[in-house]
């Protein structure tokens, strides 16, 4: 059987050969090879979701999502492209203005993939008119806080709760601009769900929606993951990092 490093099992990413294993997507293979492809709604071990559209690449002349595009021998993939960068910046800008993201006061600052991705693309402020939606907080749980203001609808907590924790604590409800994160309990409150602070769903959020109480700023600002190195320096996501 051919190994992932076999000459026939490679594709080109910005002209560089990247080995892949059977069934891997472009994003999975690139990540395993130490190539950073921007993304928010994918994590190792999960099937493609394709909701954030941050991982856009070109295959030939087609623009596709790297998380849902299967790697194939001889595939010619472009990431470093001015038009793609502009598209990704617009997507990131829209994610910021559709929610209430106040990075200087957010506990997730320095650990946030949305913030780090924006820094990597040189985004310094909002480009579109901000929505300032009226979103609640759920502080009902004794150990966890839900801040819906920062939710980007990546669905990672939904999938982690079902696939890893064996529960169904979270779901996505509504349509279009009314889409929102839902807590699966009789009251809709987190305290009345079967969530546990050690659940995979709690730790996988790439932004600052699901936070553990009484642990705020345990790692000081300036010493956090993306304070120390840009997100593009990631060779491979840590197992405990979103």
Domain with 14 in it: what CATH number? 3.10.20.740
Determine the pLDDT at residue 234.
Answer: 78
Name the pTM for this structure.
0.90
Find, among 151, 165, 159, 158, the residue nearest to 183 by Cα: 158
Cβ neighbours, 10 Å, residue 97 = 16
Q: Is the pLDDT of residue 239 over 60?
A: no
Measure CA of the first residue to CA of the last residue in the chain; give whole Å. 33
Rounded Cα distance between 31 and 237, Å, is 8
Q: Give Dmax over CA atoms of the chain in angstroms.
A: 56
Structural domains in the chain (count): 2
Q: Is the pLDDT of residue 5 over 60?
A: no
Determine the pLDDT at residue 83.
Answer: 94
Q: Is the pLDDT of residue 4 over 80?
A: no
Q: Is the pLDDT of residue 47 over 70?
A: yes
Rounded Cα distance between 92 and 95, Å, is 5
Report, in angstroms and rounded to the nearest whole number, the Rg of the chain calculated over CA atoms: 18
Query: Looking at the structure, do residues 69 and 141 belong to the same domain, yes or no?
Result: no
pLDDT tens digit sequence for 81-135 = 999 999 999 999 999 999 999 999 999 999 999 999 999 999 988 888 889 999 9
Q: Is the pLDDT of residue 1 over 50?
A: no
Structural domain harbouring 148: 102-216+223-228
Mean pLDDT of 150-169: 97
Strand partners, 11: 18
Q: DSSP secondary structure string, 59-122?
A: ETTEEEETTTSBP-TT-EEE-S-HHHHHHHHHHHHHHHHHTT--GGG-TTTTT-HHHHHHHHTT
| In-domain check, residue 163 | yes
Determine the pLDDT at residue 138.
Answer: 98
Determine the pLDDT at residue 176.
Answer: 85
CATH number at residue 168: 3.30.70.20
Q: Which pLDDT band, with edges at 50, 70 and 90, does 55 fall under?
A: very high
| In-domain check, residue 50 | yes
- If you average pLDDT over every residue of the chain, what do you get? 91
Q: DSSP secondary structure string, 197-236?
A: TTSHHHH--SSSSEEETT-TTSSPTTSSHHHHS-GGG-SS
Query: Looking at the structure, do residues 74 and 107 belong to the same domain, yes or no?
Result: no
Query: 140 vs 143, 153, 171, 193, 197, CA distance in Å?
Result: 9, 21, 18, 10, 13
Q: Which pLDDT band, with edges at 50, 70 and 90, does 237 fall under?
A: very low
| In-domain check, residue 47 | yes
Query: Looking at the structure, do residues 176 and 207 belong to the same domain, yes or no?
Result: yes
Q: CB burial class (10 A; 0-12, 13-18, 19+) of residue 141?
A: buried
pLDDT tens digit sequence for 56-75 = 999 989 999 999 999 999 99
Matching residue, tokens 């954030």: 52
| In-domain check, residue 88 | no
pLDDT tens digit sequence for 70-79 = 999 999 999 9
Rounded Cα distance between 42 and 51, Å, is 9
Rounded Cα distance between 223 and 110, Å, is 8
Query: Looking at the structure, do residues 107 and 56 belong to the same domain, yes or no?
Result: no
Determine the pLDDT at residue 144.
Answer: 98
| In-domain check, residue 29 | yes
Determine the pLDDT at residue 66.
Answer: 97
């Amino acid at each position: 059987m051919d190994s992932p490093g076999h000459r026939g099992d490679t594709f080109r990413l910005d002209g560089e050969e990247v080995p892949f294993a059977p069934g891997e997507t472009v994003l999975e293979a690139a990540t395993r090879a130490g190539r950073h492809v921007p993304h928010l709604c994918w994590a190792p071990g999960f099937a493609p979701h394709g909701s954030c559209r941050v991982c856009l690449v070109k295959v030939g002349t087609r623009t596709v999502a790297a998380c849902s595009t299967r790697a194939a021998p001889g595939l010619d993939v472009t990431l470093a492209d001015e038009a793609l960068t502009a598209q990704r910046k617009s997507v990131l800008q829209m994610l910021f203005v559709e929610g209430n993201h106040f990075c200087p006061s957010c506990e997730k600052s320095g650990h946030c993939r949305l913030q780090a991705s924006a820094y990597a693309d040189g985004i310094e402020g909002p480009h579109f008119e901000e929505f300032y939606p009226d979103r609640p907080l759920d502080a009902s749980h004794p150990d966890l806080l839900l801040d819906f203001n920062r939710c980007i609808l990546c669905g990672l907590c939904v999938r982690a709760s079902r696939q890893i924790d064996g529960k169904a604590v979270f779901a996505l409800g509504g349509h279009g601009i009314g889409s929102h994160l839902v807590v699966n309990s009789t009251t809709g409150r987190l305290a009345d769900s079967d969530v546990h602070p050690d659940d995979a769903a709690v730790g996988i959020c790439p932004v600052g929606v699901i936070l553990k109480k009484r642990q705020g700023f345990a790692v000081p600002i300036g010493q956090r993951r993306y304070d120390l190195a840009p997100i593009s320096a990631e060779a491979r996501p840590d197992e405990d990092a979103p």
